[in-house]
Structure 1
Amino acid sequence: MIAPDGEPLDVLIVGAGTTGLAAALFAHDYGAHVRIIDRRPDAPRFSRAFLVQPRTLEVLRPHGVIDELLALGDPSPQVHLHLRRRCVPVRPGELRLPNTAFPNFLLVRQADVEAVLRRALRNRGVEVEWESQFTSYRADKGVVCEVTHHGVRRQIAARFLIGCDGSTSTVRATAGISWDGAAYPREILLADVELDGDVQPGIAHIGLHRQGLLFLLPTGEAAQWRVLTAQPPNRTHAPTDRHHLQHLFDRAHLHAHITGIPWSERVRVQHRIASRYRRGPVFLAGDAAHTFSPAGGQGMNTGIQDAAGLGWKLAFAARLPGRSNATLLRSYAAERRPVAQQVLLLTHLLFWAEAGRGPVPSLLRIAFSSAGAPLVPLLLRRRRLLTYAVQLLAQLRRHYRHSPLTVEDARGSTAVAAPAGERIPDEEVTVNGARQQLHHLIATPAIHMLLQRDTSWEVPLIPNGRLRVHRVRSWPGTGTVIVRPDGYIGFRSGSGTQGATEWLTLVGASPTRS
């Protein structure tokens, strides 16, 4: 397709939040010509998300933004859990998840994440086109989109369109995709507050009471502290009512006096999933495809991982002729929609325990606030159970075993314990006579083909732009593992490279002989 500026456009992205920015970055780095538009006049200042998971850091790593993110956030946050008159220190960083270069969650503002992604795109020559309102599209060997910019109507043509325009997505509505689910009978109150009292700075505080949890985070943007708590959806108390907020602090046993509230808002909470993630050349990602409760910090992370699963596929598909990209395009919804369904169930359960209004969650919170102080250290010592739960929250256990892009050859033995469809775990390996971490080896934007020590391969071990081939000398045997750009194993065989070329051809990364 030809865009009005005369350049061939592969992907048009609507929405410049974290998901849209990540999708633009991923698609660009795999060779797609992209544009990203947003109806807002500029980037929003205030954040609604504050936690980046290890799995999200893994998918961002090949794109050169990790050092900046780590510098802006806290890679080992501490938490004080306030249970009535007891304050229980919790140090999640001491757990250190195995098999990943990022063993802890990163506490960082959503606004900072977006600023880092915008800078990365700007360095690649891609600028967000603000005040550009998407209104409609028509399918025509791709899409032709109607966009209004400063009151002027324009057309933008592209091979593919990604709707990353939030829970009220115009792209989703225009595509005729239903939005299944409902609103919670609660809202999230967010406020930046100035405090005076006995609250240790630089630490996240969680207060527990009968009606729910109150989070006090050292990530405020208009003041030092940010408050998050669930509230009934009524306007009896304005978000900026200091007496109401002080009452919440007192109930949660946070011994601090609120001296100022320079900013606050209420956010509607929903649990919804789009009935489909694709209609022809139109795709949905992030909050346009799913929206959850904030419990567990899953929303922003799930959106970025949507972008990781979609960006490379559209870039590769744009170079495949005719219908040869059908399987590649079909795989996005087959992989990511089941993940969203699992995340929705998890966040629904967590939000019920955190803010449910019925007698059962209320009694559970009362019991834990009374007896939880001595139980927390005991729970923290159950490392195996705790590691499993944290890996689940960190989305390190999500898999694509049933994806049309997953191929497992059961013959022979492979050096990688994880089957095809799972993320490849990190470990120390020997390549080119040097020891290094596997995740460092594959931290470049490409498909990575890992040959065991004795595997026969006729093509020279040189990159072809989309494929990098590595011989892992510390892996004896004749197996082959192909790692997708998003870090999942697409192909695994214990008996040579038979079938590997077919897989590479399927995704448009077939090696060239020289």
Structure 2
Amino acid sequence: MTAPDGQPLDVLVVGAGPTGLAAALIAHDHGAHVRIVDRRPDAPRFSRAFLVQSRTLEVLRPHGVTEELLALGDSNPQVHLHLRRRCVPVDVGEIRLPDTAFPNFLLVRQADVEAVLRRALRGRGVEVEWETQYESFRAVDGVVCDVTHHGIRRQVAARFLVGCDGSTSTVRATAGISWDGSVYPHEILLADVELDGEVQTGVAHVAVHREGLLFLLPLGETARWRVLTARPPNCAEAPTDRHHLQKILDRADVHARITRIAWSERVPVQHRVASQYRCGPVFLAGDAAHAFSPAGGQGMNTGIQDSADLGWKLAFAAHLRPGGDATLLRSYAEDRRPAAHQVLLLTHVLFWAEAGRGRVPSLLRGAFSSAGAPLVPVLLRRRRLVAHAVRVLAQLRRHYRRGPLSVEGSGYSGVAAPAGERIPDEEVTVDGGRQRLHDLIATPAVQVLLHRDTQWGMPPAPDGRLQVHRIRSWSGTGIVIVRPDGYVGFRSGSDTQGAAEWLELIGASPARST
């Protein structure tokens, strides 16, 4: 199998969910020849995720899809918090983070995210190959995969295979990678319903009660409202039973009557991380690599950020000789597997607070539902505390300081973030005048940021993989190299040799490009 332009295939992506689509898009935009297959007959399916976090929007921005995502979603959602018989409006727009172009989370359906990514790929000549079942692989100068399309088995040769095929991943199973963790004694109930009663439309409603949390989102796909709640273990009542759903609303003191159930689904909840993220030329990302509870809206975002880390590395490695890409490819698991464990811990605590059936979480929810209404405005006024919590949920605190691509040189005394940390947005001065830093580097490339007085002899790479900017508002000497996913890879006072070695390590040196 070749890429759409007839070139040998660099990356075969299995799974056309948000993670797989993002992996294909990012790898393509960094020069890889990609194809993406999915066993489903076509794209439509019901959304299970509804939040896109700030960091996810940042990593997608260089690939030209954020404006369309923002247009389809709500970046300033209004939330009504129901605490027994009291309703507390929460203006999420007041919680604006200062160092990002996306200061709030985006309320948007997963199906819309996937549609935007598919359109972006289609515009680049890459179509999802539906009804194509991945079967197995063998490692031969890359991978040779067996896939079946309409009953016909074919072999596909590629440099790398990326499994984005969900928690039941066939790629993971055929690579012999274990799936460590277990299943929660809960399940998530999703339903599209029509309501009649005292529920303001166009607003997200969150009800806290002793037995758990109930979410009513104005994002239904077959009806106006999407219901999301955790069900107790061994609940025998069918989720399509209107009486059962009505009892859930009544217990949460949501004064509305269900007039129609258009669709419902029960989803088991897991907490797992794959024992490895890589087996030779085979990589895992998204739900194939980790599974979390939905608490905090972390799953889809973590998967897309896996793709942001992996996509450019595979594209760069495809142009390196085998063996010369060892550190670059090893860095994916060393970056992202610890990140998954951190998210797993966060979501586990949040899910315990949200749906735990023990005495302690039940008492905490009951106490908050009874006495929390006057506390909410007080808590929201604690801007620094709230902003810190939002930054954690938005994954803006994630760092790779211990990763093999994070190199801290000597003599740096400037203002840029340390190696391994996300480069924050700020207003800077360049030759063209004042502009936001994230605007300046919003292209799929390695970005070299030079302080005003730094001597730099290397030219930009002719293939566009390396771009050089002189930041006039950063005084003195300094070199900061930002990876394509927005993390600082190298930082030094004036060590151009060290910078050249780092660029050589990832395959982005101008000499290699020419």
User: Structure 1 residue 208: deviation in Å?
Assistant: 1.1
Distance apart, 1:494 and its partner CA = 2.0
Determine the structure 1 residue equivalent to 2:429: 430
* Residues 203 and 3 of structure 1, relative CA distance in 2, 3 Å threshold: closer
Q: State the shift of 1:66 in Å.
A: 0.8
Distance 1:432 1:11, change over 3 A: same
Distance 1:242 1:449, change over 3 A: same
- Please give the per-residue CA displacement for 1:313-342, whole angstroms capped at 9, x wherever unaligned: 000000001211000000000000000000
Are positions 1:177 and 2:193 aligned together? no
Within a 5 Å distance, the mapping from 1:488-499 to structure 2 comes to 488-499=487-498
Quote the Cα distance in structure 1 between the aligned partners of 2:368 and 2:116. Answer: 39
How far off its partner does 1:465 sit? 1.6
Which deviations, in whole Å up to 9, do the C-alpha atoms of 1:273-300 show, x marking residues without a partner?
Answer: 0000000000000000000000000000
Distance of 1:357 and 1:233 partners within structure 2: 9
Q: CA deviation at 1:431?
A: 1.1
- Normalising by structure 2, report the TM-score: 0.98
Alignment partner, residue 371 of structure 1: 371
Q: 1:3 to 1:478 in 2, by over 3 A?
A: closer
Q: In the TM superposition, what whole-angstrom CA distance separates every residue of 1:176-198 from its partner, at most 9, and x where no partner exists? A: 00000000000000000001111
> 1: CA distance between counterparts of 2:327 and 2:456?
26
Report the counterpart of residue 60 of structure 1 in structure 2: 60
Give the letter for the 1:210 counterpart: R
How far apart are 1:234 and its partner, in Å? 3.3
Deviation at 1:433, TM superposition (A): 3.5
Determine if the alignment matches structure 1 residue 452 to structure 2 residue 451.
Answer: yes
Counterpart contact for 2:15–2:39, Cα < 8 Å: yes
User: Matched residue of 1:411: which SS?
Assistant: coil
Q: Give the distance between the partners of 2:352 and 2:475, measured in 1 at CA.
A: 49
User: What is the correspondence of 1:186-225 to structure 2 with a 5 Å cutoff?
Assistant: 186-225=186-225
How far has the Cα of 1:397 moved from its partner? 0.1
Q: CA deviation at 1:495?
A: 2.8
Task: Provide the rounded CA distance (Å) in 2 between the counterparts of 1:461 and 1:89.
Answer: 51
For 1:435, give the aligned amino acid: R
Quote the Cα distance in structure 2 between the aligned partners of 1:463 and 1:488: 23
Query: Aligned pair count?
Result: 513
Report SS of the residue matched to 2:411. Answer: strand
Question: How far did 1:3 drift?
Answer: 7.5
1:373-392 paired onto structure 2 within 5 Å: 373-392=373-392
User: What residue in structure 2 maps to residue 146 of structure 1?
Assistant: 146
- Measure the CA separation in 1 of the matches of 2:273 and 2:238: 30
> Residue 448 of structure 2 aligns to a residue in which SS?
strand
Q: Which amino acid is the alignment partner of residue 379 of structure 1?
A: L
Q: Distance in 2 between matches of 1:322 and 1:8?
A: 16
Supply the distance in 1 between the matched residues of 2:206 and 2:380 (Cα, whole angstroms). Answer: 17
* Preserved CA contact (<8 Å) 1:143 1:157: yes
Task: Report sequence identity in percent.
Answer: 78
Shift of 1:209: 1.2
Shift of residue 82 of structure 1?
Answer: 0.3
3-state secondary structure, aligned to 2:374: helix
For the Cα contact (< 8 Å) 2:461–2:510, is it kept in 1?
no
Whole-Å separation in 1 of the counterparts to 2:352 and 2:247: 22
CA distance, structure 2, for counterparts of residue 108 and residue 459 of structure 1: 43
Q: Give unpaired runs (5+ residues) of structure 1.
A: none
> Structure 1 residue 460: deviation in Å?
3.7
Conserved 8 A contact 1:192-1:224: yes
* Distance in structure 2 (CA, Å) of the matches to 1:495 and 1:308: 29
Q: 5+ residue gaps in structure 2?
A: none
Secondary structure of the residue aligned to 1:373 is coil
Using the TM superposition, give the Cα deviation of residue 412 of structure 1 relative to its aligned residue in structure 2, in angstroms. 3.5
Equivalent in the alignment of 1:227: 227
Q: Superposition pairs for residues 75-114 of structure 1, below 5 Å?
A: 75-114=75-114
The change in CA–CA distance for 1:382 and 1:4 in structure 2 (over 3 A counts) is closer
SS of the aligned residue for 1:324 comes to coil
Q: Does the alignment pair 1:504 with 2:503?
A: yes
Question: Matches of residues 243-322 of structure 1 in structure 2 within 5 Å?
Answer: 243-322=243-322
Q: Is the 8 A contact 1:450 1:470 kept in 2?
A: yes
Who is 2:345 aligned against? 345
SS in 2 for 1:184: strand
SS at match of 2:325: helix
CA contact under 8 A between 2:460 and 2:466: conserved in structure 1? no
Summarize the Cα distance change of 1:354–1:42 in structure 2 as closer, same or farther, 3 Å threshold.
Answer: same
SS in 2 for 1:322: coil
CA deviation after TM superposition for structure 1 residue 458, in Å: 1.3
What is the SS of the residue equivalent to 2:372?
helix
Q: RMSD in angstroms over aligned alpha carbons?
A: 1.4
Checking the alignment, whether the CA contact within 8 Å between 1:410 and 1:494 is kept in structure 2 is yes
Structure 2 match to 1:335: 335
Question: How far did 1:150 drift?
Answer: 0.3
Could you tell me how far apart the structure 1 residues matched to 2:131 and 2:375 are?
A: 52
Q: Could you tell me which residue of structure 2 aligns to residue 71 of structure 1?
A: 71
Deviations 1:121-148 (A, max 9, x none): 0000000000000010000010000000
Q: Give how far 1:497 is off.
A: 2.4
